Amino acid sequence: MSSKSPVLILTGASRGLGLAVLRILLTKHNARVATLSRTITPELKGLADEVGQDRILPVRGDVSKPEDNVRAVEETANKWGQVDGLVLNAGTIDPGKIADLPTSSLIPYVQTNLLSTIYLVQPALPYLRKSKGKVVLVSSGASTTGYQAWGLYSMAKAGMNSLARTLAAEERENGVSVYAIRPGMVNTDMQALLRDKGPSSMHPSEMVKFQSAFEKGELLPPEQPGAIIAGLAVAGPNELSGEYINWADERLQSLA
């Protein structure tokens, strides 16, 4: 990792967990951050106006399109001359049983939720090798469970864990570290969507877990796992490279 102010690319930064990670990177780690998202939300624009163009580069693009990811890397390198880390946070969930999924939706979903990680990692790797950089893949507890109606989401996140293991092995000699992190149940729009759409397709015994966490105020504020994710992207331990790891793991707490 460069000794200068680190340069990172963050996807899914327009709201929720990604926006929290962005704020922490900018304020605590003095990072310079390029964001890739389809929309520049008022929150993201306001933050960009607040910190200035020398600290943040909002790139409008679709993570499911390889060319947009390449452009994000090129614009970042052209602006700051380096890339020290990636946080791959973009993703969607739309509960539905496997038997009912339209086949026309499968490829776009996998592109957004899994292949997009490779679309960004590939063009960034030459820079990450030079900086001995970090790659953080935001995974999910769903990657190791079988919640009814979460089939595609769980499949994509399990693939992300596998990608972290493989990429870590391939890039170990190049000094690039890769992590898949479970952020826990975070109070974001995704949880609101689950409470809205989940009851029609999820099993009641599983749905109650999410509803109960919301009603009891047990959902995590995005800043809690966000602090760990940001710290991992800047100074993650090399010895944990390749792991699928819980944000609350005691080995990560010093990163917050």
Q: What is the pLDDT of residues 16-68, one digit of tens each?
A: 999 999 999 999 999 999 999 998 999 999 998 999 989 999 999 999 999 99
Q: What is the pLDDT of residues 140-181, one digit of tens each?
A: 999 998 888 888 999 999 999 999 999 999 999 999 999 999
Q: What are the structural domain ranges in the chain?
A: 7-255
Q: What is the pLDDT of residues 60-105, one digit of tens each?
A: 999 999 999 999 999 999 999 999 999 999 988 888 899 999 999 9
* Percent of the chain whose predicted confidence (pLDDT) is above 70: 99
Query: 242: phi > 0 → left, psi -120 to 50 → alpha, else beta; which?
Result: left
Pick the CATH number of 7-255 from 3.20.20.70, 3.40.50.720, 3.40.190.10, 3.40.50.300: 3.40.50.720
Q: What is the pLDDT of residues 237-255, one digit of tens each?
A: 999 999 999 999 999 999 9
Calculate Rg over the CA atoms of the chain: 17
Are 222 and 187 contacting, i.e. CB atoms less than 8 angstroms apart?
Answer: yes
* pLDDT for position 22: 97
Total count of residues recorded for the chain: 256
Arithmetic mean of pLDDT over the chain: 93
CB-based burial of residue 155 (10 Å sphere; 0-12 exposed, 13-18 middle, 19+ buried)? middle
43: which residues sit within 8 A by CB, 6+ positions away? 14, 15, 19
Looking up tokens 């390749």 gives: 242
Are 114 and 160 contacting, i.e. CB atoms less than 8 angstroms apart?
Answer: yes
* pLDDT for position 187: 86
* Percent of the chain whose predicted confidence (pLDDT) is above 90: 77
